[in-house]
Structures are given as C-alpha cells and as structure tokens.
Amino acid sequence: MVIAMKIWKKILKTGLFLFTIGVVFLVGVYVYAYFSKPLDIKTANNYYLYDKDDKIFSGNNQDWVKLDDISPYVINATIATEDKNFYKHQGFDYLRIIKSLYVNFINGKTLQGASTITQQLAKNLFLEFDKTWSRKIKEAWLTVNLETHYSKDEILEGYLNTINYGGVFGIQDAAYYYFGKDCKDLTLAEASILAGIPKNPSNYSPLANENASKQRQKLILDAMVKNKYITSEEADAAYVTELIYIGVKKENTSITLDYYTDAVLDELKEITNIPESYLETGGLKIYTNLDYEAQMTMEQQVKQYITDDKMQVSGIMINPESGKIIALIGGKNYAISEYNRATQAKRQVGSTMKSFLYYAALENGFTASTTFKSEKTTFVFDEDNTYSPSNYNQNYPNKDISMLSAITYSDNIYAVKCHLFLGEETLVETAKRAGITSPLEAIPSLALGSEEITLLDMASAYTTLANEGVKVKTYFIRKVTDMQDNVLYEAKEQSEPVFNKSLVYILNELLTNTYNNALIDYNYPTCYAIASKLTHKYAIKTGSTDSDRLIFGYNKDILVTYRLGYDDNSDLPSNTSTIMQNMWADTIETYLKDKESNWYEMPENVVGVLIDPISGKIADSTTKKQLTYYIKGTEPYLEELDLDSIIPTIKED
C-alpha cells in the first residue's frame, strides 16, 4: 500500500511538473506572438489569375464585407456548426480536441474534427494543404498569432470573407452566386444552406448535391436550436422553405472556367520557389496561358452536344509547339461537380494508344505497307494464358491488310499482332519517351489502351507527335509575381527531340486517313462522319472502351482532345462516338476559323507513292489509289508489271 502511494505521488508530481512546463510554454508562445508582426488577414491570401492577354479572369479577390454587414443568421449558423465555443477559447478548443480524440480512437477512424474557426482561417492563409507535422506546427503558430493580434469579431470576419463556399470564396460572393443578393439580406433558410457548404464544398453545395445539402442544413438548424439562436418553429419553417439557386458568378458566366483555375493552382503548388504561404508575398498575381475565347468555344460545344444529364466530359486545348495549355474543361459544370476529370481521372485510353504503337513500328522497320492478317484470333501464351481481342462490331476482313488500313479502320487484331511482334516493352518505352508519366505494364492489351491514364498526361504525350517529335513541357502558368509586380517565377519552355521527325511526318499523314472517305471499303474510316466539316488538315485518332470515348486531333497550330464517359463507368450509348467527333470538329474548326492553315513540311528523305490502301502494294487500275509516304528506299515497288492494265493499247493503222 505504501509503495502504491509513493508511485501515485510520483505520478502526480511528474504530471504537475509537465502541466506547469506546458502552461509556461503556452504563455511564452502567446507573449512571443504578441510582440511578433501581425498578419494582414485581408490581403495575405489573395491571388489574381490573368489570361494570355493579361486580363483578370479569376481569383479569390472577393468583396470584403464587415461583420456588421453580414446576416446574423450566417454568423450564428457558422458558430453553432463550426465552433460553438468560439468566443470562449484562445484559438484551440482543448476539451473538443480531447473529445474528438476519444471518439476517433474508440471507433478506429476519424469521425470528428476539432479545428476552431481561428485554425480554419489560418489554413486559408496557406497555399498548400498538406498534412505534414511542419505544416501543422506553422498552422498552430498562425492560430496563436491571429488570436493575439485580432479580436474575435475580426477573426470571424476574416473567416467568413475567405472560406470556400463551393468554388466561390467569401460570403458576399457566395450570396450573389447562389441567391443573387447581398449577404446582409440572407434569410435563415439561405444562411443555413450556405453555412453547410465549407465542411465539404464538393458534396454540400446545393448545386452539386441538393439532397446532401438539405441533410446538412437540417444538422445546422438543429445546432442553432440547441445553442438557442433560433426556435424549433423557426428551424422547421426554414427547412421547408423552397429555395431557388442561381449559380452564376458576378465576374463571368462561364460554368467551366474554374476547372482551369484549379489546374493552375495545382501547378502553382509544384513551383518550388513560390513561398508556401501567401503571407510571405502579400498575395500573388498568376499569369496563365488561358485563351478565354478557346475556353468558351469548348464550353459552348459541350453545352450543345452533351445533353445526357449523367454523362461527363473533359477536354483540353494545347499549343503543341510551346506546350501552353490554353483551355481545359474538367466537367460539364463546376458548380455541380468540382472533380477535374481532365487532370484527376485515370481511365483507359482505348485505341488512342495505337498512335505510339505505330510510331514504334515505323521506328523498327515497319512501313505503311507492312501487313498482318486481320481475322478473329486467340493469342495463346501458355496453357492457361490466352488473349482474344476483337475488332469493333466483329468486323474482320480475313486477309492481310496494311498498316495504313489498320490505322484508318482502327483494326485491333493488327495492333495486337504488331505489338507482340515488336515486343511488349517497346510500346512502354515509346510511350514513356513521348511523355506519358503514368505507370504502364508491358502486356498484350496495352496496344488497345487497357492502362489507365489521365487525359492531361495523354494530351501532353500527343504534343510530341503534333510537334514533329519534339517533346515539350506542357504548362498553365507563364509568370507569377507578388502584388508589387516583383517576379517570383517565370516559365521557361522546355523541349527535347525524342522521335525521328521524318517518321513522325509519315505517322501524321497516316492519321489523316481516319476521315478519308475515299477509303470506305470493307469498313469505314473511324472519323468518316465528320469529314465534310473539316476545312483544315488534321491528324486524328479516336479510342473507345465500353465506358469511354476519346479523340485526339491536331496540326502544327493546335491540339484538341475530348473524353466522354459516366463517372460510375457505366456503358455508353452507341451514338457517343459520333457526338464526341462532332463536338471535336466544331471546336477545332471554330478555333481555327479565319486562321492560316498550317501542315507539316515534308522532309527531304520522305517520298510519296500511290498504293492500294488495303494490300499496301503499288496501286494499279484495279485498285483504290492513296498517296502514302515512306522513307526513301522503303517504298513498295512493282513486282509484276501488267502493262495492259496501266498503258492504253496502241493500235496500228
């Protein structure tokens, strides 16, 4: 018993000592913060985004409003939901922290958070949102700094003016965006909807998920009742109030531009010499490559062609020579879904992978005339390992066909035979050289695009083909300055020759046959339906899986790509390919309207020959004739010349 008492006394003494040290430390921190430089919460987290013409198109430079000019319903709903002890603590709610740790420990997962409004404001002052210990320590220090230099009302004002309300920052802009009114005029019903968004902006925005938004509203109204801000009757009346959402920003009417903005901010995080906190810059000016007209062209085509409510789309436009990304769409409507399908979604790329396969083939001695037999085939690798690809609609010519035909009709059997002949590692290596960064497995189905790759990753690789074999670094940001216009970063175009220019020219010419209606034969060229729309010359490759449709098309001046599909990977309707191709054609033709048409100059070591597109042999009077290109010395020749078939009969007098 005596020993036990001694142990407890020792534990109590140790605990008291540690507690005293902790108190002294905290007091010291707050004293140090008191004498440190205060943060400017009105300007520290501002950023402005400029397009290619140096015009502002986005930013979080929201309208700052005083706390007295914000609806009391918004203030009370925010405090009741986010931090009910806001006016009692000094930046950290220790009892709430202990409670959340206990709940999360008992349940074995994170169910509760304990961030105060001050801590959340500190987070908003950071450019990055990583979860490293270094970041957490800095965030804690900012929290103390804020609590030391600002009143509670000033902190709350800063929070409400900077928080994310579903792609809209600040309560004033949010009030106009969702309800078309000043934030001081928000009703209880409106305020309780808005107060629920910051917890999970992509899910609780009423434009993205109205059911989830209403469920969140109910929790907020109940919290307001519990904390005696409103009565139960007021809560019930607010919950059943029918609300009309506008979903239009004051500065522009684009519903896709924020996808480009998000991609810019993601790239900004990767620039190492930009301070990780806005605090160190007093805000940023970010100059981008955005071509606003190109962005709106893509958006208008999406609005016109994608009428299926559940179908989603992503698209990108790139200048292939410079690598400048001039437009990007990550979905149909940012307000409904912030998920950026152009930069984040990894999905199979289908036959669009074949462009890199056929470049590899040309590099390894194939020509446009090289043939394989296209027929229903099962590839057997050992007793238990087989692979049975199929052509679209089970269409097989059951004869030897040329590479030209294989590209024109996107023949899968030819592609797999070519892939296996070259060796599966060859395509992996070639795709990596082109610029694909996603992991690729050397498997038979890689030739048919079975690996999952983001659209941006694939588009970046396609610029290597569009840029005559020179790989460029694709990018959004051309320059970053602080608010005093001191340059913090300036992009330098990066390029590296990785492919043979002459072989790329031959491949690009082959890819123009995908819309060549003169080649309609046992099958149709994959893009024959849009041939009449095209007034410029393009290299085009499409790809299809059960759940995705893709298209990449380009010339020297521009590369345009789209991908269509359902987020849940459901099978697509049969007409989706036609929709996508027409959308692509209208986009690129609109962009190039009234512009000079540029195609690639034929290298001196390349020669054009008229061949039979199916067999790949020299054309005669009995076959179709297609001008096709070869490295000099590799072109087909006349094996048996039937003069009667090509020379008129000479009659003697």
pLDDT the model gives residue 602: 97
Tokens of 590: 């609109």
**CA distance from start to end of the chain:** 139
Name which residue leads in pLDDT, 38 or 463: 463
Of 27, 88, 568, the closest CA to residue 345 belongs to: 568
Model pLDDT, residue 151: 86
422 or 130: which carries more pLDDT confidence? 422
260 closest CA partner among 203, 179, 348, 324: 324
Residues 235 and 212: their CA atoms lie apart, in Å, by: 17
DSSP string, 518-567: GG-SSS--TTGGGGGG--S--EEEEEE-SSEEEEEEE-SS-EEEEEEEET
Q: What is the pLDDT of residue 473?
A: 96
Is residue 126 pLDDT above 70, yes or no? no
The answer to whether residue 640 scores a pLDDT higher than 50 is no
Could you report the per-residue pLDDT of 284-342, keeping only the tens digit for each?
Answer: 899 999 999 999 999 999 999 999 999 999 999 999 999 999 999 999 999 888 899 99
| Digit-coded pLDDT (tens) for 213-262 | 999 999 999 999 999 999 999 999 999 999 999 877 666 678 999 999 99
Taking the C-alpha atoms of residue 602 and residue 628, their distance in angstroms, rounded to an integer, is 12
Q: Higher pLDDT residue, 382 or 490?
A: 490
pLDDT value of residue 83: 86
DSSP assignment of 79-102, as one string? HHHH-TTTTTSSS--HHHHHHHHH
Q: Which residues are catalytic?
A: 82, 351
Phi, psi for residue 468 in degrees, rounded to 5: 60, 35
Domain boundaries 66-253, corresponding CATH code = 1.10.3810.10
H or E element at residue 57: strand 56-59
Residue spans of beta strands (DSSP E) within 289-383 = 311-318, 325-329, 347-348, 371-374, 379-382
pLDDT tens digits for range 147-196: 788 888 988 998 899 888 987 889 998 999 899 999 999 999 999 999 99
pLDDT above 90: percentage of residues in the chain: 64
Distance CA 271, CA 491 (A): 10
Q: What predicted TM-score, i.e. pTM, was given to this entire model?
A: 0.82
Which of 525 and 209 is assigned the larger pLDDT? 525
Q: Higher model confidence: residue 253 or residue 617? A: 617
The single-letter DSSP state of residue 251 is S
Sketch the domain layout of the chain as residue ranges. Answer: 1-35, 66-253, 606-646
Give the pLDDT band (50/70/90) at residue 127. very low
Average pLDDT value for residue range 126-134: 53
pLDDT tens for residues 33-90?
555 666 666 666 678 899 999 998 887 666 789 999 999 999 999 999 988 888 888 7
Under the banding of pLDDT at 50, 70 and 90, the label for residue 346 is: very high
Res 115 pLDDT > 60: yes
CA distances from 564 to 270, 420, 591 (A): 28, 29, 20
Q: What is the model's pLDDT at position 112?
A: 46
pLDDT band per the 50, 70, 90 thresholds, residue 19:
low
Per-residue pLDDT, averaged over 462-468, amounts to: 98
User: What is the pLDDT at residue 174?
Assistant: 92
> Higher-confidence residue: 644 or 201?
201
pLDDT of residue 4: 64
Per-residue pLDDT for 28 more than 60?
no
Q: What's the pLDDT at 643?
A: 37
% of the chain surpassing 70 pLDDT: 82
Q: Which is nearest to 504 in space by CA: 463, 475, 473, 472?
A: 463
> What six digits make up the tokens of 532?
């009449």
SS3 14: helix
Q: What are phi and psi of 240, to 5 degrees?
A: -90, 0
pLDDT band per the 50, 70, 90 thresholds, residue 644: very low
Whether the pLDDT of residue 350 is over 90: the answer is: yes
Mean pLDDT rounded to a whole number for the chain: 87
- The string over 523-548, giving b where at least 16 C-beta atoms fall within 10 Å of a residue's C-beta and e elsewhere, is bebbbbbbeeebebebbbbbbbbebb
Judged against a pLDDT cut of 90, whether residue 443 lies above it is answered with yes
